[in-house]
Amino acid sequence: MPPFESTQFTVWLLQALCAVFLAILFLQSGLDKVIDWKGNLGWLTGHFSKSPLRGVVPLMLATVTVLELAAGALSAAGLVSLVATGSATLAFWGALLSAVSLVALFFGQRLAKDYAGAGGLVHYFLLTLVAVYVTRLG
């Protein structure tokens, strides 16, 4: 961790805050899908019943679950790495995978014609873009 008085501390702090936010967001979301697989599958099957994706809901759920868990785990590892070594490399990869996860979710919401749900992802995506950017500063 850089000294508090340095300008690098601000960059480090932004990197750490983005990493912890994305770790919480994606680990919670991914673990919820694992713990309540049946409930999530049932809800998503109905949600996508009138979309072109209706036949691949279990595969989509598995893919999104893996993406979210990986994004959350990389973000958490990125936070540990930031604290332990000052390196933001893992946080960058966590942020990048978070962005990919959100694009996948956005795609699904748009195809399901859930425009409000898709719109609700925009602020998460913007934060994720900030995280991708700030984890490359240094």
CA distance 115 to 21: 24
Contact at 8 Å (CB) between 98 and 23?
A: no
What pLDDT does residue 127 have?
97
Domain extents in the chain:
24-134
State the pTM of this model: 0.91
Within a 13 Å sphere around the CA of 91, how many CA atoms are in the beta-carbon half? 33
Three-class SS of residue 86? coil
For residue 21, give both structure tokens.
């936010």
pLDDT of residue 54: 86
CA distance 10 to 30: 30
Q: What is the pLDDT of residue 138?
A: 64
Assess contact for 108 and 48: CB atoms under 8 A.
Answer: yes
φ, ψ for residue 36, nearest 5 deg: -115, 50
Do 128 and 74 touch, CB atoms closer than 8 A?
A: no
Mean pLDDT by 10 residues, the chain (138 residues): 86 96 98 96 89 89 96 98 96 98 93 90 97 91
* Residue 53, token pair as written in the block: 């994706």
Note the pLDDT of residue 31: 98
Which pLDDT belongs to residue 88? 96
Alpha helices (H) along 48-114: 57-85, 89-111
